[in-house]
């Protein structure tokens, strides 16, 4: 196979892409169908099922960062509370979603997510509409001032397949640790322990990410194709998610790994010394 000079130049730049470089420009391509590009691989890996199970833990004032095209939109339970429901059915008044804030560094992604959210609500009857506050934010979630922290912080922060696309994922997680409700802090709704624990451990940060796996041969493969994958898809698929989580200083409540360790499901909580800003 022969290559044009332009193809050779692009291949050189792609392979020389510095590790953990800013990939946000990859998500500003108008007219590109990102959902179509990842649908097949996500179906093959049953990621939708894993997304749904994790999103089911979201409650209260919810923030989703790195929202992308809004692949989690239909997984949130945004139904109005029914008095006939109780905790035994999986939902209760104290577990419902009160508000949603969606954030992404790319304005193109936020607009696509918003379009998807509006289309989803348009299919619902009036009694099924979400009654809570919905806000949209464009900007770097790690930057002070981009996201407004509600009184009592966010009860739940969600990020799926976002660590791979962030240049400084450790700093971003540290910032999320400040935005989430702190241990012992009352929520905006005046509740201290939404989950009924004697000692409130604060809100949750829910992550579903991909990165390095269990085996060195697999990690070598990921390393070899990392630049090309990052250049096209806007994510570094060979990041050490465990190391990033450890360096964030957040409390690890749960880690589950799938697909030879390359898919990471992580639940984090803030430490008591986190500074609220």
Domain definitions of the chain by residue range: 18-269
So what's the pLDDT on residue 270?
97
What is the residue-wise DSSP string for 13-71? HHHTPPTT---GGGG--TT--HHHHHHHHHHHTTHHHHHHHHHTT--EEEEESS-TTTT
Rounded Cα distance, 108 and 251, in Å: 33
Rounded Cα distance, 153 and 186, in Å: 9
Supply the angle between the helices 216-233 and 5-15 in degrees, to the nearest 10. Answer: 130
Most confident of the ranges 185-194, 208-217, 220-229: 208-217
Beta-carbon neighbour count of residue 132 at 10 Å? 15
Q: Please compute, for residue 199, the number of CA atoms within 13 A of its CA located in the half-sphere on the CB side.
A: 2
So what's the pLDDT on residue 222?
96
So what's the pLDDT on residue 12?
40
So what's the pLDDT on residue 120?
94
Superfamily, domain 18-269: Vaccinia Virus protein VP39 (3.40.50.150)
Rounded Cα distance, 251 and 201, in Å: 10
pLDDT confidence band for 4 (50 / 70 / 90) = low
| Sign (positive or negative) of CA dihedral 42, 23, 31, 118 | positive
Per-residue model confidence as pLDDT tens digits over 97-156: 999 999 999 999 999 999 999 999 999 888 888 989 999 999 999 999 999 999 999 999
Q: What's the predicted TM-score (pTM) here?
A: 0.86
pLDDT confidence band for 31 (50 / 70 / 90) = low
Most confident of the ranges 1-10, 28-37, 111-120: 111-120
Per-residue model confidence as pLDDT tens digits over 192-221: 445 555 458 999 999 999 999 999 999 999
Higher pLDDT, residue 181 or 272: 181
Q: Are 89 and 103 in contact (CB under 8 A)?
A: no
Per-residue model confidence as pLDDT tens digits over 41-68: 898 899 999 999 999 999 999 999 999 9
Residue 124 CA to chain centroid, in angstroms? 25
Q: Which residue, 100, 271, 87, 98, is CA-closest to 185?
A: 271
For the residues 249-257, what does the mean pLDDT come to? 98
Sheet holding 60-64, edge to edge: 133-138, 97-104, 60-64, 156-160, 204-210, 263-269, 251-258
Cross-strand pairs, 136: 102
Higher pLDDT, residue 82 or 59: 59
Q: How much of the chain, in percent, has pLDDT values that exceed 90?
A: 62
Q: Which of the 8 DSSP states describes residue 179?
A: H
So what's the pLDDT on residue 15?
54
User: Mean pLDDT of all residues in the chain?
Assistant: 86
pLDDT confidence band for 36 (50 / 70 / 90) = confident
Q: Which of the 8 DSSP states describes residue 180?
A: B
Per-residue model confidence as pLDDT tens digits over 9-26: 444 444 567 777 777 777
For the residues 211-238, what does the mean pLDDT come to? 93
Q: Which of the 8 DSSP states describes residue 139?
A: S
Rounded Cα distance, 100 and 85, in Å: 22
Instruction: Name 27's Cβ contacts closer than 8 Å, sequence gap at least 6.
Output: 34, 68, 104, 105, 106, 108, 109, 165, 234
Round to the nearest angstrom and report the end-to-end CA distance of the chain.
56
């Amino acid at each position: 196979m022969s290559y044009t000079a332009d193809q050779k130049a692009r291949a050189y730049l792609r392979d020389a892409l510095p590790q953990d470089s800013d990939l946000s420009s990859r998500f500003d391509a108008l007219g590109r169908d990102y959902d179509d590009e990842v649908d097949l691989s996500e179906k093959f890996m049953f990621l939708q099922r894993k997304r749904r199970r994790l999103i089911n833990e979201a409650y209260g004032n919810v923030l989703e960062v790195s929202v992308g095209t809004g692949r989690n939109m239909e997984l949130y339970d945004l139904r109005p509370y029914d008095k006939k429901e109780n905790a035994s059915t999986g939902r209760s008044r104290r577990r419902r979603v009160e508000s949603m804030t969606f954030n992404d560094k790319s304005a193109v992604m936020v607009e696509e997510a918003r379009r998807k959210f509006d289309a989803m609500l348009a299919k619902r009857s009036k009694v099924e509409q979400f009654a809570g506050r919905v806000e949209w934010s464009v900007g770097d979630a790690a930057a002070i001032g981009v996201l407004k922290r509600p009184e009592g912080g966010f009860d739940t922060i969600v990020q799926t397949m976002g660590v791979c696309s962030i240049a400084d994922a450790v700093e971003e997680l540290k910032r999320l640790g400040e935005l989430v409700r702190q241990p012992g802090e009352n929520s905006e709704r005046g509740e201290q322990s939404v989950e009924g624990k004697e000692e409130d451990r604060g809100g949750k940060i829910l992550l579903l990410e991909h990165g390095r796996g269990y085996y060195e041969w697999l990690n070598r493969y990921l390393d070899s194709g990392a630049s090309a994958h990052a250049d096209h898809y806007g994510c570094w698929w060979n990041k050490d998610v465990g190391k990033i989580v450890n360096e964030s200083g957040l409390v690890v409540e749960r880690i589950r790994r799938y697909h030879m360790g390359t898919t990471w499901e992580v639940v984090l909580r803030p430490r008591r010394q986190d500074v609220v800003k």
